[in-house]
Amino acid sequence: DTAVSQTPKYLVTQMGNDKSIKCEQNLGHDTMYWYKQDSKKFLKIMFSYNNKELIINETVPNRFSPKSPDKAHLNLHINSLELGDSAVYFCASSSAIGYTGELFFGEGSRLTVL
Amino acid sequence: DQQVKQNSPSLSVQEGRISILNCDYTNSMFDYFLWYKKYPAEGPTFLISISSIKDKNEDGRFTVFLNKSAKHLSLHIVPSQPGDSAVYFCAASEGAQKLVFGQGTRLTINP
């Protein structure tokens, strides 16, 4: 039973399209994140939500819009896709109580923009 | 501006020997440091962590050392096993809920 699951795992699309990546966690955590792993392999935080409220937004273009319908879900919608959006996107969650920095990651969603 | 850096993209170690992975950081306000391990086609998984008030934390074969004056931490794995072959990410946080990751070091354990 996967703790943090993302769909789809692979996504190939054309420039200019709009796409979404979904994330769900069954750990009962209060906080969820989106990270982007770019071509240089750094994992960079994009967004963080705590109980459906946005708490971190790291200078991400407004073409990226996260949506959290409830604390178990954090979806990422990307408008007008660009070549530079090609990356692996990781969803993660953590417990807000006694937070120690331990994040639980999904398997990643590899987005390729042609 | 990368606040957490892992300057070795790869490391190859013989099975049974010690693996030492290094990480440098620039932000003196970081108060918690972690190591994550990542296998291909999987997300990173938490391995071990250390608070800035300590200089060493040990968990089985894994030990993390923190040198605050040098802004450096290292992960020691001893003895190294084939299953340890993975990419290892160093991460640091300042306060709550925002981890800054390095770019990872690919560790290969040779039989």
Answer whether the bond into residue B9 is a cis peptide, omega within 30°. no
Contact indicator for A83, A38 with CB cutoff of 8 Å = no
CB contact under 8 A, B43 and A31: no
Three-state DSSP class for residue B84:
helix
Nearest CA to B89 out of B6, B3, B2 is that of B6
Residue A83 dihedral angles phi and psi, to the nearest 5°: -55, -40
The reported pLDDT for the residue numbered B97 is: 60
Query: What angle (nearest 5°) sits at the alpha carbon of residue A104, between those of residues B68 and A113?
Result: 100
CB contact under 8 A, A90 and B42: no
CB contact under 8 A, A55 and B89: no
Token pair 């306060």: residue: B95
pLDDT band, very low/low/confident/very high, at B108 (cuts 50, 70, 90): very high
Contact indicator for A80, A14 with CB cutoff of 8 Å = no
**CA-CA-CA-CA torsion for B36, B40, B41, B47, nearest 10 degrees?**
-20
pLDDT < 70: residue spans in chain A? 1, 96-100
B45-102 tens-digit pLDDT: 999 999 999 999 999 999 999 999 999 999 999 999 999 999 999 999 887 667 899 9
The reported pLDDT for the residue numbered A98 is: 53
Which of B:6-35 have CB within 8 Å of A?
Answer: 32, 34
